[in-house]
Amino acid sequence: MNRWIASILVMVLTLLSVPVMAQSTHSVFFQGSDYELNIYRIKGEKPGKTLLLIGGIQGDEPGGYLSADKYSDIELEKGNLIIVPRANLKSILLNNRGPDGDMNRQFHDNPKPNPMLKVVGKLKELMGEADLFLHLHDGWGFHYPVYVDELRNPKRYGQSLIADAEAFECRDGRELPLGTLGRKVLEKVNAQIANKDHHLHFFDTRTNDPKTPYPAMRKTATYYALRHHCLPAFGVEASKNLPSLKLKILYHNLVINEFMRELDIVPMTPKVLIESPRLEFVEIDVNGSPVVVKPGDALPLKRGDAVTVNKIAANSPRGIFCDVKGKGGLNDLGNTFHIDRNTDIVFRKESKVIGKVHLHLDRQPRRYRPGKTRVFVVEVNGEKRLLLNGEVLELSVDDKLRLLTSFSDGNNAVTPKLNFKGWVPAGVRNRGDDRKFLIALSDELQTKYSVAGKGQRYPVVAETSSGRKLGQFVVQVIRKQEP
Ligand SMILES: [Zn+2]
């Protein structure tokens, strides 16, 4: 067989063997920069149309980006969403329309070089994946077909659905009936808004028309979407003059929901899966003084101390309870107990244990403080070495590594497990604790656990028995060049 055909065949077979799952993804571009771009793709269980939502292209329009945010972790029964809640991060962090210029004027054909263009390039790519595009903004005043006053007239942008044309004719001859679709959606949206002053109106900027009063619209994202992708596109404008941010978000949501209905994109209601429950910290009263304790830590006490769990901070507001073992019942939040032996406070989301705090009797208890610095003790080819949290340990394939222990400058009542991600001890059950094994770097490592899947750096993670991560260092495997 021809070598090329063979390699293509292998590639196709590899792709086919990957299970196709209706999974939502989150991708980050330009990470760590002022123009970091986060893109959320939500794929429905059933295939369907794709709606692109872009918010935050101008940083002083929170109604738009906070509304987009609301859709970033929903689940869909049918159809897809692509969401960019914060297109212009720098402008949002500064609450400024455009510190490096207006990003929504960079979509014309010859923009001058500037730091926003990398983001603009990504947004243009996304347009190619969508069936409809909503650009979410907050604008001044209230758009209205006739002049009422300074705030409510045909020149104002707030509370409007903007299209660049009543009907747009694409290069390939297709016609997009923007006016018809937009008015239909607004009729349904306005039916849900009791306050008539807040109704949204259709706003045709006639961007294509040589005599348009809005020639700047030719440089915007929606007009680009029409011209280059024949993608139906609308600007959704909440008013900056609405009495609350909540209303701005609500009106955006109403418009998005109605367009979703129009495209037969069906959300899963109620949302089935949230994040897996995670305990952040707890506030415990000891003899009347509050102490903030991290899960997995130990709280030193004197015999007879009065202990009350006051507050549990977790990523889920409901279904979280705590149980002081050996005292009270299963639900001990707010109850005070005198502690006379070592015990645990167990935190549950419903029945699932999501964290523990150990209550440890000590004749002279040191004051509790959570650790800040974590140290790892390892042995490389028989020599002890200390590594700080986050450090990179360079090893060659000939090296032998032993993980000894890890401690922090906190109370250290918990000695963590140490887990070399991607390395599995031979012949014994893998318990996620690799302490004391002799790890040969020539052993086979599972690339999927390496940093970014590149097979070069492998995290070694310190974890509590319940699997909470306390810190990590990274092993970088240096492979000698073949001569
Ligand atoms: Zn805007």
Tens digits of per-residue pLDDT, 278-334?
888 899 999 988 888 888 889 999 999 999 999 898 877 677 889 999 998 888 988
Please, which pLDDT band fits residue 1 given cuts at 50, 70 and 90?
Answer: very low
Residue 64 CA to ligand 1 centre (angstroms): 8
374, 407 contact by CB (below 8 A): yes
For β-strands 336-338 and 306-314, DSSP reports them as: antiparallel
Q: What is the mean pLDDT of the chain?
A: 89
Confidence of residue 17 (pLDDT cuts 50, 70, 90): very low
How far, in Å, is the centroid of ligand 1 from the Cα of 138? Answer: 6
Distance 399 CA to ligand 1 centre (A): 58
Q: Report the residue count for the chain.
A: 483
* Whether residue 252 has pLDDT greater than 50: yes
Q: Is-contact 437 476, C-beta < 8 A?
A: no
Q: How remote is the CA of residue 249 from the centroid of ligand 1, in Å?
A: 14
Question: Closest Cα to residue 335, out of 357, 307, 311, 356?
Answer: 307
Q: 24, 43 in Cβ contact below 8 A?
A: yes
DSSP calls for 323-349: EETTSS-S--TT-EEE--S-EEEEEEE
* CATH architecture of structural domain 22-267: 3-Layer(aba) Sandwich (3.40)
CA of 156 to the centre of ligand 1 (A): 12
> Is residue 185's pLDDT more than 80?
yes
| Average pLDDT rounded to a whole number, residues 157-173 | 96
- Mean pLDDT check: name the lowest of 171-180, 226-235, 261-270: 261-270
What is the Å distance from ligand 1's center to 319 Cα? 40
The closest of 401, 405, 413, 376 to 391, measured between CA atoms, is: 376
Please name the residues in contact with 137: beta carbons below 8 A apart, sequence gap of 6 or more.
57, 58, 61, 64, 157, 235, 236, 237, 238
Q: What is the mean pLDDT of residues 248-255?
A: 96
Q: Read off the tokens for 363.
A: 């004749």
- Quote the CA–CA distance of 311 and 405 in Å, as a whole number: 32
- Identify the CA nearest to 458 among candidates 424, 427, 482: 424
Task: Give the rounded percent of residues in the chain with a pLDDT score beyond 70.
Answer: 91
pLDDT recorded at residue 313: 86
**pLDDT grade, residue 10 (50/70/90)?**
very low
**Ligand 1 centre and the CA of 129: distance in Å?**
23
Q: Which residues contact 414 (CB under 8 A, 6 or more apart)?
A: 296, 297, 298, 358, 464, 465
Q: How confident is the model at residue 413 (pLDDT cuts 50, 70, 90)?
A: low
CB 208 within 8 A of CB 222: no
| Residue 63 CA to ligand 1 centre (angstroms) | 10
Strands 352-361 and 298-301: parallel
Mean pLDDT of 22-31: 84
Is residue 198 over pLDDT 80?
yes
